[in-house]
Structure 1
């Protein structure tokens, strides 16, 4: 039996079913567990969560909970602030957040990224220890990512691209989750399908938790034997999720088949064309894009626009219809791309114009005529009064630029 109680009534021994308020204020990456640790209770009481739902058939009720440790009891007895307004209705019943500018979303996206890093690190850590994955516990993370993508997809996707070598495996999953959500909306999938796609993106690489760390994090090229080990990660992940029994079939499918290719040259089953599900074809594009635009233990990141251009040339790998939709979702010149303007100036893309992907918002910072930096200027190239336009992408490596991320991240 479920019961909603205010936060100051929470005690050790209670079974937490869910928490009210924004997921970003929740002190745990999961819910649905018995509250046994004093440290966990302290974190919950000081988190700002206004109320929780407990299941009294699986844990203590308000009147039956054991006495608290002295320190925690002091926290419980302290005067509590007035609770905030009631939590909004479930996401399925809400309209999508209104689109905002890149600058307006950056702060919230960064907060979601940081929270997601902690959650996925904990989730994957438990998977490495053999614990079952509960998809329902992952859904709040997917919802937060989806909300950020609705407000401005480029913010979270671009920040997730800045992962380090050490947290690549974890943040790659968050990035693919966001890319899958953005692509789903570009393809016109409904909210339920979009959430399933996001969940599939989040869990697609969980099989890498079963890979030897010396192979997973090897800084050099893999041997054929090591590559064979790595190619087992889709099946290992599929079996891990299947054994847990609480993961949607769509997520299982993407986990198993995100390395299949349209021409049948992929793995593990060599599927081709329509034999590969829609979500798995989507996952293949999102997985590769984030991988090649991220710094890996064995290679430097490719620039976003250059990555799109190269992917377009890989005939037979991707579904062309899905790839076209993907480009529409991230942009011809994704955020962070270096572009040359008709005026001879170089600029970094800082936001997209959904109505005209060829005319993004940019920050101009360099003159190809003088070959010198110029005062930084922000332009909306869709504004006719600006009088300039993109004439092509440029390679940051060719120009020796290593600071482009600093330019587009400025708000």
Structure 2
């Protein structure tokens, strides 16, 4: 039997995954309705672009796949078909020139998401994609998806449906994870790419908001040389996010405060200050640590119960960070958990034929560096392609 292309499609969720699904479906001539619970679309996408929209990372496909760890086959297949090179070509096709930073991260020259989103929505409008805002999905009524809308309850029946409702962080931007209660086969949400809470002593207050530079972070098998920040609530920033998955799963965070100085050289510099020098003098003038690093050293040795007689070089090269767990789920950049891949056949729900899922609502972890947006686009595209080839 030859598969018949669906004539109508419903996409629930208007973030990168949902909009990419709508793009692929509409390009095939399908009449598409996109429903989103917020007053406007792409709100988290726009927020991500406020500090520079990191679309992807310019690296070979094998390195890209490796960044997702033990990703499910459906996610790996989606990324193999639509990885960094394809993301860059797609953005340039929307008239957005790109540049690649020194670490391989790729950004629009405009350094924000709004020009790309405007061009994307214009493309969808030219294909008569209908976008309905303030539509909150409430479940199913037979074959129809039901919604609370400004005009009251609505029911929409379509040949195929794409679910792209996001994770459970930044709920004020649209992703609250409430959909999980209406689907089978979900895993509780967990924070990803997140900060961690620390109950600082009073002497740390002068350093709130200060960046910590030139450190090496290790948690489990994850490492980072990225910058991070001391905040009133704890620690956060790119360096922390890079090791946050291991920290969330129980690994201790170790900080090398002098990653470019060998332990032997640290010992020599400390000894050169003479036996009468205080520890503070050694840290400040002998090792030239900035005040924020000195404060962290004193804070964490106290919290960890490290004796003042402990070898200084060893402690500076492996300072344990005692924290109180991840920051609240809603403050995380992204979330793990959600719809399990075993609840899917490819990207179609096993419990409901003709309904496909994509984006951050799937249970996968993405590191920072453009990987979240890349996989959201890739799975949105893959779900739409599966929908186009599916038939009852």
TM-score category of the 2 structures, normalised to the smaller one: under 0.3
How high is the TM-score relative to the length of structure 2? 0.25
More strand by share: 2
Normalized per residue, the structure richer in helix is 1
Q: Structure with the greater relative contact order (CA < 8 A, sep ≥ 6): 1 or 2?
A: 2
